[in-house]
Amino acid sequence: MPRYTLGDADMKALTAYLRQLSVQPSSGVSTERMAFATVIAPGQDPVRRQAVIDVLRTCFEEQHPGGQGRQTWQLMVWDLEGSPAGWLSQLRSKYAEQPVFAVVSGLGSDEWAPVHQFCELEKIPCLLPNVDAVPQAVEGYYSFYFSKGVVLEAQVIARYLAANASRLGVTRVVQIRREAGSGARAAAALRGDLAGSSIGIEDRILDSASSGDFRSVVVDLEKSDALVLWLNPEDLRALAVGTPPEGATIMISGLLAGWEHAPLPAAWKSSSLMIYQIDAPSRRAARMRFNLQPWLRGKAIAPADEGLLGNTLTACNVLHEGVLRLRGACFRDYLVEVTERYPTMGNAPAPQAYPRFTLGPGQRFSSPGAYVVRFKPQAPDELELVQDWTVPQ
């Protein structure tokens, strides 16, 4: 170990760090097995839920099969029920029944705060869940995410509009969303980011399945308006039955709309910008072709979108690489530290859908930015860059 000259302040910091480290090996580990959990929020699509579980179980069996003196990995599936207010007590009950060393991947949508809180309170590493929106005031040591989801999109939209307000002539933002869900979470984030700016903001809530009613929310827009659509493919399809508002700046959530597969007619595609936080379609397809599809071949895994499958496999690979580097010192805070040092961990995240995957001390979002793109005028099924990778501060 190298020797350093430490002053009083350095020694105090080092002492404080050492005193907060674990003394006893963490729960969920024995010589025969390590137990892990994946958390599934209520209301998830059954096909997506099964795909996450299949990927994790297959990854565990492949990398840690057990037998012949080897330590096996056991996956516990923690399905949550009811409103988020009851999730923390459910998680604590499940953990008391079967302690786990870490939580890996998982599936949620607009609500994840109780899971995040559980991980922080119990000091359990929680690695890379598949969620649409992270907790609004996310802080903590034990939870890692791919990105901030729709919250990141709201931040990028706010910065794009602020930087281009004069050129675009935007004085008001009109957000179209549903009453609840990920769109509502994103709209709240954008409202917060624009607070105190010269740009006004108004929310219009869809409360009917009628496309005629949908159209009424955009008929009075002007050139000085920016229309922000926090809508899923079904709602987008209903809204876009008519022509887009003439002259208005239109911005779409790529995460909610289905990325380049957003069901928009040509007129809407030519008028719209999209926030795009995953890799470009051609590069993403190449990564999946070389790093995901060969792994899937011959395995009994429920079909699902490749982004979900690849991200889930990435979470398992990151866990595997991290545990290898523990070298038997099974302390949860040590796992957090080796996960932070991802650049020394080889190619574990290869199948993930994001253009960047970096971690570091204090960094809990592996991909903190997004692009602004549009559909090409002459090739509306393809995308082109409008604003390069933007990382909100």
Selected residue with higher pLDDT from 282 and 347: 282
What number is the average pLDDT over the span 282-291?
93
pLDDT tops 90 at residue 90: yes
According to the model, what pLDDT value does residue 100 have? 98
pLDDT tops 90 at residue 116: yes
| Predicted TM-score (pTM) of this structure | 0.91
According to the model, what pLDDT value does residue 302 have? 81
* DSSP secondary structure letters along 321-387: HHHHHHTT---HHHHHHHHHTGGGSTTTTTT-SSS----BTTB-BS---EEEEEEETTEEEEEEEEE
pLDDT tops 80 at residue 210: no
The third-level CATH classification (topology) of the domain covering 25-148+285-344 is Rossmann fold (3.40.50)
Q: What pLDDT digit, counting tens, does each position of 167-176 carry?
A: 999 999 999 9
Highest mean pLDDT of the ranges 18-22, 253-257, 326-330: 253-257
The third-level CATH classification (topology) of the domain covering 150-276+370-390 is Rossmann fold (3.40.50)
Sheet holding 102-104, edge to edge: 72-79, 33-40, 102-104, 126-127, 143-144
Q: Where are the domains of the chain?
A: 25-148+285-344, 150-276+370-390
Q: Judge if 25-148+285-344 and 150-276+370-390 fold alike in CATH terms.
A: yes
Question: Please, which pLDDT band fits residue 7 given cuts at 50, 70 and 90?
Answer: confident
Selected residue with higher pLDDT from 359 and 54: 54
